[in-house]
Amino acid sequence: MKRSELEHLIRAAGKIAGDREIVVIGSQAVLGQFPDAPPVLRRSMEGDLYPKSKPEMADKVDGAIGEGSRFHVQFGYYAQGVGPDTAVLPRGWQRRLVRVENENTGGYAGLCLEVHDLAISKYAAGREKDLEFTHELARHEMTDKWTLLKRLAATRLTAALAKIMRGRIERDFASPRA
């Protein structure tokens, strides 16, 4: 996905939901902070998002511009309407959201996860694609190990999951950068 495509999703989701602010929590939130992120981080054609003040409208957004919709067929990318509790995030993440608002968003704003908060959510999810994503963030020096460890400490987790996530962070920063 390109930044302009994310902006299109923000605009479309805002119109459908009747909400001026759309929270972007999936991998493509990286485009908020890094509009020209490396292609390896932009592979997904899906924008996980929800209307900030009307999260209950996420299903309506998903139905209108989600996977398999006419929108998806026409443009080749789509929104996945999710809920505010979809991602595991550190305390204070809302204060760090990166605002995307320009001519292409048509009066709507995307509120994208800050990259370290995004990485924490991916380390918590722990799927292969998530761990590949965090590895690439580290490899491209888009995340900082110490910031991640601070955010990890500010995330409500079981002791077992926190230990696993710490190991994942250490592994990403132990490998040589290209």
Cα(120)–Cα(117) distance, integer angstroms = 5
Rounded to two decimals, the pTM is 0.95
Cα(148)–Cα(38) distance, integer angstroms = 20
User: How do the pLDDT tens digits run along the chain, 178 residues long?
Assistant: 999 999 999 999 999 999 999 999 999 999 999 999 999 999 999 999 999 999 999 999 999 999 999 999 999 999 999 999 999 999 999 999 999 999 999 999 999 999 999 999 999 999 999 999 999 999 999 999 999 999 999 999 999 999 999 999 999 999 565 4
* DSSP classification of residue 34: -
* Residues in contact with 1: Cβ distance below 8 Å, sequence separation at least 6, in sequence order: 28, 31, 42, 44, 45, 46, 47, 77
Q: Where are the domains of the chain?
A: 3-114, 116-174
